[in-house]
Amino acid sequence: MTADQYKQIAQKVANGTASTEEMETYLLYFKLLEKHQEDLPFDTKNQRHLKDSLKQRIDAQIQASPQSTSKKLPYKYAAAVALLVFSSLVGYYIQQNQEPLEKTVNVSNRPISDFQPKKTTLTLADGSTITLDDAAAGELAKQGTTSIIKSSDGKIHYKPIGTAAAATNSYNTISTQKGGQYQLALPDGSLVWLNAASSITYPTAFGSTERKVKVQGEAYFEIRQLANQPFIVETNNQEVLVLGTSFNINAYKVDVSETTLISGRVKVKNLRSTNTATPILSIGEKALVNHQGIQIAKANIEEITAWKNGYFQFQGELQDIMEQIGRWYDVHIDYRLSGKEALTFGGRISRNRSLQDVLAIIEATGNVHFKVEGRRVMVSK
pTM recorded for the entire structure: 0.71
Neighbour tally for 1: CB within 10 Å: 14
Predicted local confidence at residue 260, as pLDDT: 98
Give residue 286's identity as a one-letter amino acid code.
K
Q: At what angle do helices 20-36 and 47-64 cross, to 10 degrees?
A: 130
Instruction: Give the DSSP H/E element, type plus range, for residue 85.
Output: helix 82-85
Predicted local confidence at residue 121, as pLDDT: 96
Closest C-alpha to 365, from 97, 93, 96, 91? 91
Find the distance separating the first CA and the last CA of the chain, reported in whole Å. Answer: 26
User: 212 Cβ partners below 8 Å, 6+ apart?
Assistant: 202, 203, 206, 231, 232, 233, 234
**Partners of 216 in beta bridges:** 199
Predicted local confidence at residue 59, as pLDDT: 55
Report how far residue 82's alpha carbon sits from residue 63's, in angstroms, rounded to the nearest whole number.
Answer: 22
- Rounded to whole angstroms, what are the CA distances from 257 to 65, 175, 197, 272, 305? 51, 18, 15, 11, 15
**Partners of 158 in beta bridges:** 148
Predicted local confidence at residue 34, as pLDDT: 45
What pLDDT tens digit does each residue of the chain (381 aa) get?
Answer: 566 776 777 677 666 676 656 666 665 665 555 444 444 433 334 445 544 554 555 455 445 544 444 444 444 444 434 444 444 444 433 333 333 333 333 333 334 455 555 689 999 999 999 999 999 999 999 988 889 999 999 899 999 886 555 455 789 999 999 999 999 999 999 999 999 999 999 999 998 899 999 999 999 999 999 988 999 999 999 999 998 799 999 999 989 999 999 999 999 999 988 778 899 999 999 999 998 899 999 999 999 999 999 999 888 888 889 999 999 999 999 988 776 567 787 778 889 888 988 898 888 777 789 999 999 999 998
β 246-251/238-242 pair status: unpaired
Contact 91, 100 (CB under 8 A): yes
Contact 259, 247 (CB under 8 A): yes
Structural domains in the chain, CATH included, are 3-104 (no CATH), 310-380 (3.55.50.30)
β 231-234/211-222 pair status: parallel
Predicted local confidence at residue 79, as pLDDT: 42
Predicted local confidence at residue 208, as pLDDT: 85
